[in-house]
Structure 1
Amino acid sequence: MPEVNNVMDPVQLQPFSHQVGGSTSVMSFNDTTLCKPLNPREHYFYLNMPKSLKEFTPEYRGLIEVKLQEDSDGYITYMGYPSDTSDHKKSPVSSCRSSPESSSSDQDIPVILRDKKKKDSDPDTSASIRLLRSGSVEVSTQTNTIFHAVDPGKSGKTSGVNPWSVKCQKRLISQMKKIDKDSKKCKFILLENVAAKFQNPCVLDMKMGTRQHGDDATEEKKQRFMKKCQTSTSSIIGSRLCGMQVYQAKTGKYICHNKYYGRSLTLEGFKQTLHQFLHNGYELRTDVIDGIISQLQKLSYILTEQDTFRFYSSSLLLMYEGHCSQNDNDIGQSSSSNGPIKGGNCNCDNNQKGDKQCHRPDNCKIDIRMIDFAHSTHIGIQDDKTVHNGPDSGYLFGLRHLIDLFTEIKK
């Protein structure tokens, strides 16, 4: 295998426009690949994942090292470099929250770095990040797409990037600045961008299960996470909203909700939010429900077979195409063999009054993926002392209720 350094020049990373949830900032490596700060447990999980789970998780694409650069005007640049190579296929590697000086195996050489057919960045979504003296972060993009946060007390609009992505940028900059004092790089994991095949991705991020804390959580953290579950829909239906964006075909804007809104929801509020997730401003997208239910049922069957696995604090992404077009090809084709299933062709036309109407698609793409495995465990993972028996009943409990709720909406 050729040296990666001879294959790839440093890549300038961009903020990921469609990050709706999570505590860690996600960056775009290119148009089909994302990256985020490395968590050793999550990295191990991806390297040793059962084959049956890969259909419902983003493809693992290796590691890179990232360095933060700031100019005199406060503009921030993230530069991605190929990771060092040596043999540690089963050993954990360090993240930017610990020592960044560990090495990686040939298995960790990013697949994407060896494929120069992939462009390094999408010029239509390039952005500039600026850290203001006030401590806030300003993200400027070359797109006019509007993301409208409608959460109580948090209303506002951002152009080109989901408001939650902007919030996460500030946290990442703070972490990276601490590391960069010693001119060190931070390890990032490269993963498939599962939203890449969508033109206007509608995304629902849900925290799954009735328990969120990992086995290694401190007593303080355990109590804090238990309280979040007990006071939210997690304890009632095994899931809670962690973030959402839904494309409004009528206005060309996204409506967004964040995790704080999700924690405040009652069961009835959760049902109403699922309904909102399926509404494009013209009509309820009942055409995507069968595909969502089918995928949830398949995932439930697969997880039933995963003995000793626990996916504490992991999320489930539900996505569908929000774009309306008279041409099926406008929606685009899946970029992954594990790509979204099809439900329909979304056509828009004008009625007799000249108003635009969106018709139910026959061929709309749908995708469901599990993400965020920083607190997941199973027998044999990193010498964990606690071994659980059977499948993750809390996660399965959440899936059953989601299936019931989407079935109820369809009726």
Structure 2
Amino acid sequence: MSSEIDSSTLLSRASQLIDLAKKAGADAADAVVVRSRSQSVSVRLGKVEGTESSESDDFSLRVFIGKRVASVSANPGFDLQALAERAVAMAKVSPEDPFACLADEANLSKSYPDLQLLDTTEVSSEMLREAALAAETAALAVKGVTNSSGAGASAGMGGLVLATSHGFAGSYMASRFGHSVSVISGEGTGMERDYDFDSRLYYAELDDPSEIGRRAGERVVKRINPRQVPTGKDVTVIFDPRVARGFVGHIAGAINGAAVARKTSFLRDKMGQQVLKSGLSISDDPLIVRGPSSRPFDGEGVSGERLVMIEDGVLKHWFLSTSTGRELGLETNGRGVRGGTSVSPSSTNLALEPGDISPEELIRSVGNGFYVTELIGHGVNMITGEYSRGATGFWIENGELTFPVSEVTIASNLKEMFMRLTLANDIDRKFGVAAPTFAIEGMTLAGR
């Protein structure tokens, strides 16, 4: 990665593009450049399998003529005037969209803090190779590990350059570094696979690759010789933090304003009502210094602020961009994300705020139940809340993790699951979605 990150040239081209769009007949316009730089190395059984490096600056121009809107994309080196004229010509024949618009000028960020998102540490392909090999070597050294699915290391950065016809101009970059490894235990039909990884904004904060490898090896060895368990209709299921993060993602999807506007969320009529167990809260904060999903402004130039999306179990906010907010009769809360040529709402640093007891105390309190470490399939209906997923993990007996379990299914309805959560205190905020270990009572488990 280059130690010199300068977006001024791209910002100038974006501004020129807007001026040309206005001259071609656009009433309003915005131009965005999505920046990406990355390099990665993958290894397997001590040999390099792949080395990749990529660099891109992808331009998108969005123009508005009355209630008509059109977007075009291009790579660097395009003809500015031709692109602007093409976008305007497309907008003139596009159907009207009553909600598509730029963010209101009053909502635009006038200044924004330095969130320390960029680490300019130079990481060579040799450093990446050594890290990947160290992770794999440590994993294979764990007794009971029989093979490797591979290990990898990566370094990169990405960011946004945004200019609008009503006065916003800004840019930011964020770095990302990662180590990962996946290994196998057992032989033949008795093989099990597991993994571990770490991902950080700052290279020096990454977990040691040997530690990542050791953890992956220990995880997979524990899964050897899994059993099925009997079907039960009132089982307490504990979610390991890995799968807990995915579960919080279901909550985020249900309170996304776009899903509410499309009527594809089972919480669409629940604003101001209790949707989580009393005492539980979910926060979203785009302005955390060195936060994994922090950003000084959103894809429309609006600065968000920390919001308690669900407070003491009561739903307080949707995730909103400008157009989604207008469709719902609300104002944006700075959660707009550029996805190619469109803007849609999304979470930033999302956290299911933790409870007061340790994971060990939570497991002991369950007595008998199921501790889930991995979920399989996509059996979640976001319209009705019906939930059914294949699962693997460990059986809990007399408050202790005992034998590994596989080939079972856990099922319930998300509305009921949200009301039966009991949270531990072990939240890890290094990921964009953070959640502690938690238990859910009263689930159905389909086994043998």
The alignment's TM-score, normalised by the length of structure 1, stands at: 0.25
Structure ID, larger Rg: 2
Q: Considering Cα pairs closer than 8 Å and 6+ residues apart, tell me whether 1 or 2 has the greater RCO.
A: 1
Name the structure where helix makes up a greater proportion of residues. 1
